[in-house]
Chains A and B, each alone.
Chain A
Amino acid sequence: MSAALVIARRDLLAVVRSRSQLYSSMLTPILFLVFLGNGVSHGLEPANLPDGNFTAYLVAGAVVMTSVFSSTFSSASYYRDRDSGVLRLLLSAPVHPRVLLLGKSLAALAIGVVQAMAVLLLAAPFVDFEWQYGLVAGLFVSLAAVVLVNLMLTGLAQALASRIQTMQGFHLLMNLALFPLLFFSGAFFPIDGLPAWLRVLAFVNPLTYAVDALELAVYASGDATFIGLGVDFAVLAVLAAGTYLVGLARTPKLTYSGA
């Protein structure tokens, strides 16, 4: 465990020193909130939203989007380690390769959670949140949802990174898989009024449950048009545990021509 924490600490340090990664994961969702949220709010009928105010509605989506970006960037460190040779050193160390993956995923999880919560906290003073469960409970529910969605995304990203040879291929596949999921998650518009076939897509989409939990925690004034926290957390917990274990399943090996 000590080795995993040492590896996690090093990955965190690398992110802090790689400023572009640090800022870009958060900047895109914030710009998205400022421009898309304000712009569309003027042309949208507030009555179509569960509790009016499109910008406030978008915050949950922006938080999930931050988690998506963050897990993608963090898991790409696998390629940086491989190309810089660090992976070879780690694979010759007296620790199981799974400890190495655990350390890297802990760092990715920590970065994702901090960045996603930072977006939520930065947005909070500028939008009208309902905090229907109270501020503290709302933040706690948000944090739990953010941890689970980041655990799930980190596991997914790590599972893909261990199977895809190039970083370009990895980014392509992550974008291909996650952007459509974001669109049908309720991140940009409520799923309540969607056609039946789109609602089916939304309900099989794991990100839907993270967005729903966050909307309930910060934006909604009631539970009527939402899935509900019980279902949200049950689905997120199962998927997070499953994908995280899949992410740790395939371990890299030391070879003569590269790790």
Chain B
Amino acid sequence: MSNIVLRGSLWDTGSVPPYAVRASNITRGYGGRKALDGFSLDVPAAGVFGLLGPNGSGKSTFIAMLAATEPPETGSLEILGGPPSRALRRRLATVFQENTADPLMRAGEYLRFSGRVFGVASSELSTRIPELLERFGLGDRAADPVSSLSGGMRRRLEVARALLHRPELLLLDEPTTGIDAEERAILWETLRSSADAVTILLATNDLSEADAVCDSVAFIQGGRVVASGSPAQLKAGLRRESVRIAWPTASEGELAEVAGWPGTGEVARDGDIVVVTTDEASTFVPRLFALAPGAVRSVTIATASLEDAYFQHVQRRTGEAAR
């Protein structure tokens, strides 16, 4: 798991409550469908918290509810230590899934417009806009129309816009969708170096991104949280390693013996290949070679990922998709 430490702050936010967000048994419906249904979640202050779930699971609804500082229909919601209110919006910022930059505006104009709407003084914007544009690699694009920026540049502009008014809670709804790996790395690196002491709530479908940047995550399905914790905690519940063995002559008796070893989980055979999950590959593999000397042609070890944990908790709705 990556342990994110956000450094080099552009601002100090003073003391922060222990939880940036506390949601308890929230319900939110849209057109007869419950987008959130008994949704409960505590997001610790500071650090990066990931919301992971399939499309339609309720991630964006929760983000939009926080962005709008809207009270829930049922249940309770606390944001930055207080109930939802319009005044709280000065302390929040949201990067929505879709760009919000007006294509008819220039990059610098767009930031000035957003800053003014969020109540930042014009004089402060005169120094802050060039500073943020520079940080996000857009220093020479201030006078360019938003429509002329690449997809990755627009996403960086969105994040720069969100940091303009020094939020304490930054809501990111799939901020890196549609941009390449290099742009993604640039964006996260810049964000890390620009947002000290800010709580980042990240809604994403990208499990590897969440594994890399989040301190804690919650898996969401059907409008409720089905599991939460640090990626390490969530992975700890799994067999940590998967061993792929090229073993054409493996007999049923040998496979049964392997399955009985301490720390061994599933044993599955696919033709000449045997796949075993185990808690500790370093003790498993020597034992394997002792059991079948000369019969094992190769062994490949893979470490359990957040994706493995995700699929253990979140059921794929293939039947629903097929309809």
Contact = CB atoms under 8 A, between A and B. Distances in A.
Interface of A: 2-3, 6-7, 10, 13-14, 17-18, 81, 84-86, 88-96, 253-257
A92 B94 contact: yes
A96 B102 CA distance: 20
A17 B109 CA distance: 13
A146 B27 CA distance: 49
B117 A84 contact: no
B113 interface: yes
Contact of A94 (B35, B102, B118): B118
B119 A94 contact: yes
B177 interface: no
B96 interface: yes
Given A85-B96, A254-B67, A255-B30, A93 B103 contact: no
A6 B113 contact: yes
Given A92-B94, A255-B30, A256-B64, A2 B116 contact: yes
Given A85-B96, A88-B98, A254-B64, A93 B105 contact: no
Nearest to A99: B117
A257 B104 CA distance: 23
B68 interface: yes
The 9 closest A-B pairs by CB, nearest first: A89-B100, A94-B89, A85-B100, A256-B61, A254-B68, A6-B116, A92-B67, A256-B64, A93-B117
Nearest to B113: A10
Contacts of A96: 86
Given A2-B116, A86-B102, A92 B68 contact: yes
Interface in B38-88: 60-61, 63-65, 67-68, 70, 86-88
B190 interface: no
Given A10-B102, A14-B102, A256-B30, A90 B61 contact: no
B101 interface: yes
A7 B118 CA distance: 12
A2 B92 CA distance: 20
A88 B93 CA distance: 12
B99 interface: yes
Contacts, number: 77
Interface residues of B, number: 34
Interface of B: 30, 35, 60-61, 63-65, 67-68, 70, 86-90, 92, 94, 96, 98-105, 109, 113-114, 116-119, 161
A88 to B, nearest CB: 5
Decide if the interface of chain A is mainly helix, strand, loop or mixed. Answer: helix
Contacts of A91: 68
Nearest to A93: B117
28 contacts: A2-B116, A3-B116, A3-B117, A13-B104, A13-B109, A14-B102, A14-B105, A17-B104, A18-B104, A84-B99, A84-B103, A85-B96, A85-B101, A88-B100, A89-B100, A89-B117, A89-B161, A92-B92, A93-B89, A93-B117, A94-B88, A94-B118, A95-B86, A254-B67, A255-B64, A256-B30, A256-B63, A257-B60
A7 B116 CA distance: 9
Given A3-B116, A255-B30, A94 B90 contact: yes
Nearest to A16: B104
A219 to B, nearest CB: 38
Nearest to B94: A92
B46 to A, nearest CB: 22
B65 to A, nearest CB: 8
Contact of A93 (B30, B109, B118): B118
Nearest to B173: A256
A253 B68 contact: yes
Nearest to B93: A92
Given A85-B96, A254-B64, A255-B64, A95 B117 contact: yes
Given A6-B117, A94-B87, 13 more contacts: A2-B116, A7-B117, A10-B105, A85-B96, A85-B100, A88-B98, A91-B68, A92-B68, A94-B86, A94-B118, A94-B119, A95-B117, A254-B70
Contacts of A86: 100-102
A92 B102 contact: no
Contacts of B86: 94-96
Highest count of chain A CB atoms <10 Å: which of B87, B90, B100: B100
Contacts of A84: 99-103
B3 to A, nearest CB: 30
Contact of A13 (B68, B92, B105): B105
A91 to B, nearest CB: 7
A85 B117 CA distance: 15
Nearest to A5: B116
A241 B178 CA distance: 47
Contacts of B98: 85, 88
Contacts of B100: 84-86, 88-89
A197 B255 CA distance: 97
B108 to A, nearest CB: 13
Nearest to A14: B104
